[in-house]
A and B are shown apart, each in its own frame.
Chain A
Amino acid sequence: MTDDREPRVPDEERAEAGAERFGRYLDALLAGARPSPDDIGSPDEAEMAHVAAEMAAAADRAGSTPDPAFVDQLRRRIRDADQGMTSVTEPLPIRPVVSDTSVARMRVTRRQVLQTGLGAAAGLAAGVLGAGLLRGEPTPRDPIWDDGIGLVAGEGAWVPVATLAELPRGAAVPFSTAAFNGYVVNDDGEIRALSSVCTHMGCTLQYRPEWRDLRCPCHAASFNLAGKLANSRAAWQAAGGYGGDDQAYPIELPPLIRPAVKVEGEQILVWTARA
């Protein structure tokens, strides 16, 4: 004969504690709030949460209609992002890794044309389409891109952007032309021009002399003076870190566009569209 008043067995106490904790999850869910994952204690309870979420949704027809304010706000966010002007607080979108061999083919997408800026768009598109016509003219010592495709077709011109005196080893000087903005850099004696448009969302890169990179103020991508993403996961792992950052840049990005550059006397000139 058992005594009803004997101390409860530990199993039962555990069950009550679990029911109490899981009850908080249900209360939040049924109040239409965001339930806390901390109230889920086991894979079994995760299954229960899953069933509860589906039941709550099925029993709540009103909740299945989005808030019009949310719909409007998201439309604005999408419009902004589509124009390459995503806010700095936005979480990083995930993009599949782009392998090096496919970069050239992917270079001019709808996004990039928009990102590259209004003035550069026509020139950039023309540069790729007219690549066959352009081989050899102009004839910069430095390839314009790695594959030597011209950035500006037709009405281009060499425009002075800096002098050699302004560009000692390790220095970078920003320039602005009718078609694009960028930096001319002196990478240990080699003069190079780099677009200052981040190939992620089109923010304007800033030169950081201490790290010798072009840094994106929006999502902290860093490009080295060869125009390649320098703080990718792979680079991060290989070097054991990067530039005092506490994490690697999470996705691969195409390299920066490299406009043609040449030196005449003391002048450094880039090949750009006529104003």
Chain B
Amino acid sequence: MKGEPVPHEREAAGVLEAIYDEHVVPIYRFIHARVGNRPDAEDLTAQVFMRAVEQLDTSRDHNQVTAWLYRVSQNLIADYWRALYRLPVIGTEQVAPGWEPAAPPGRSAALAEATQDTAADRVRSLLRSLPERYAQVLELRFLQRLSVAETASRMGVSNGNAKVIQYRALRMAALLDESDD
């Protein structure tokens, strides 16, 4: 035995990697859907799994491990918005030291897909509820990914005007989004 980790411990190390391989894609998607850009999604995904190395009890059953990962992800996303944009705390709970069962069980890749669909639906319904000009500017910018200059020329306004319109469109979208929640 001397000079080798005891067998149980060596297995545990492999368990963590198996958990990673199973969850990294859905967790990344879950986070990306909420921060909207790749660099931040990668940073937060790395933080989730580095925290798992430190804190996750890998002997828990599958659903509990999955729930733990989503819970940590949710907390990190809440921290991200709060810290980056100095937002007030919005109903975020701290991960308890050790283990906290709560959180929805059985989330998986299917959920990440569902999240994506729900998000796309929400965008569509948001656009439908906006005045035409606002819906149009967001459609061109977000769905067609046109630049401000291209958007301005499609809409027949100046660049400065297009920026003001997209600003107001998002402000109204944020208000509508808030009242939805």
- Taking beta carbons and an 8 Å cutoff, which residues of A are in contact with B? 15-16, 18-20, 22-23, 26-30, 32-35, 37, 40, 43-61, 63-67, 70-71, 74-75, 77-79, 81-83, 90, 93-97, 110-111, 113-114, 118-119, 121-122, 125, 178, 273
Cβ of B170 and Cβ of A48 under 8 Å apart? Answer: yes
Give me 5 A-to-B residue pairs in the complex whose CB atoms sit less than 8 angstroms apart, sorted by A's number. Answer: A16-B164, A35-B37, A54-B33, A77-B46, A122-B6
Cβ of A95 and Cβ of B54 under 8 Å apart? Answer: yes
CB distance from A142 to the nearest CB of B (A): 25
Cβ of B33 and Cβ of A34 under 8 Å apart? Answer: no
Question: Which residues of the partner chain A approach B110 to less than 8 Å between Cβ atoms?
Answer: none
Count A-B pairs with CB separation below 8 Å.
Answer: 209
Cβ of B25 and Cβ of A96 under 8 Å apart? Answer: no
Cβ of B84 and Cβ of A114 under 8 Å apart? Answer: no
Cβ of B126 and Cβ of A55 under 8 Å apart? Answer: yes
Cβ of B53 and Cβ of A56 under 8 Å apart? Answer: no
Given A26-B141, A58-B116, 7 other A-B residues pairs in contact with their CB atoms under 8 A:
A18-B167, A22-B170, A27-B147, A32-B37, A74-B45, A114-B9, A121-B9
Question: Which residues of the partner chain B approach A83 to less than 8 Å between Cβ atoms?
Answer: 13
Q: Within the complex, which residue of B9, B58, B171 is in contact with A44, where a contact is CB–CB below 8 Å? A: B171
CB distance from A77 to the nearest CB of B (A): 7
Identify which of residues 51-66 in chain B touch chain A, using a CB-to-CB cut-off of 8 Å.
51-55, 58
Identify which of residues 19-66 in chain B touch chain A, using a CB-to-CB cut-off of 8 Å.
20-21, 24-25, 28-29, 32-42, 45-46, 49-55, 58
What 3 pairs between A and B have smallest CB-CB spacing? A53-B36, A96-B97, A46-B85
Cβ of B53 and Cβ of A93 under 8 Å apart? Answer: yes
Question: Which residues of the partner chain A approach B84 to less than 8 Å between Cβ atoms?
Answer: 37, 40
Question: Which residues of the partner chain A approach B142 to less than 8 Å between Cβ atoms?
Answer: 30, 52, 55-56, 59
Q: Within the complex, which residue of A63, A74, A97, A119 is in contact with B2, where a contact is CB–CB below 8 Å? A: A119
Cβ of A59 and Cβ of B120 under 8 Å apart? Answer: yes
With A46-B85, A67-B38, A96-B97 in contact, do A58 and B9 touch (Cβ < 8 Å)? no
CB distance from B144 to the nearest CB of A (A): 9
B89 within 8 Å of A (CB atoms): no
Question: Which residues of the partner chain B approach A119 to less than 8 Å between Cβ atoms?
Answer: 2-3
C-alpha gap A45/B171 in the complex (Å): 7
C-alpha gap A139/B169 in the complex (Å): 77
CB distance from A184 to the nearest CB of B (A): 23
C-alpha gap A70/B41 in the complex (Å): 11
Cβ of A110 and Cβ of B9 under 8 Å apart? Answer: yes
Nearest B residue to A46 by beta-carbon distance?
B85
With A66-B25, A75-B20, A78-B49 in contact, do A58 and B6 touch (Cβ < 8 Å)? no
B131 within 8 Å of A (CB atoms): no
Q: Within the complex, which residue of A35, A46, A178 is in contact with B86, where a contact is CB–CB below 8 Å? A: A46
C-alpha gap A30/B28 in the complex (Å): 18
With A34-B39, A46-B81 in contact, do A81 and B50 touch (Cβ < 8 Å)? yes
Q: Within the complex, which residue of A37, A44, A59, A125 is in contact with B174, where a contact is CB–CB below 8 Å? A: A44
C-alpha gap A79/B145 in the complex (Å): 38
Taken residue by residue from 96 to 108, chain B's Cβ proximity to chain A (1 for < 8 Å, 0 otherwise) reads as 1110000000000
Nearest A residue to B55 by beta-carbon distance?
A95
Cβ of B13 and Cβ of A23 under 8 Å apart? Answer: no
Question: Which residues of the partner chain B approach A61 to less than 8 Å between Cβ atoms?
Answer: 116
Cβ of B4 and Cβ of A118 under 8 Å apart? Answer: yes
Question: Which residues of the partner chain A approach B126 to less than 8 Å between Cβ atoms?
Answer: 51, 55
C-alpha gap A272/B81 in the complex (Å): 51
The listed residue with most B CB atoms (<10 A of its CB), out of A29, A77, A82, is A82
C-alpha gap A219/B143 in the complex (Å): 45
CB distance from A266 to the nearest CB of B (A): 30
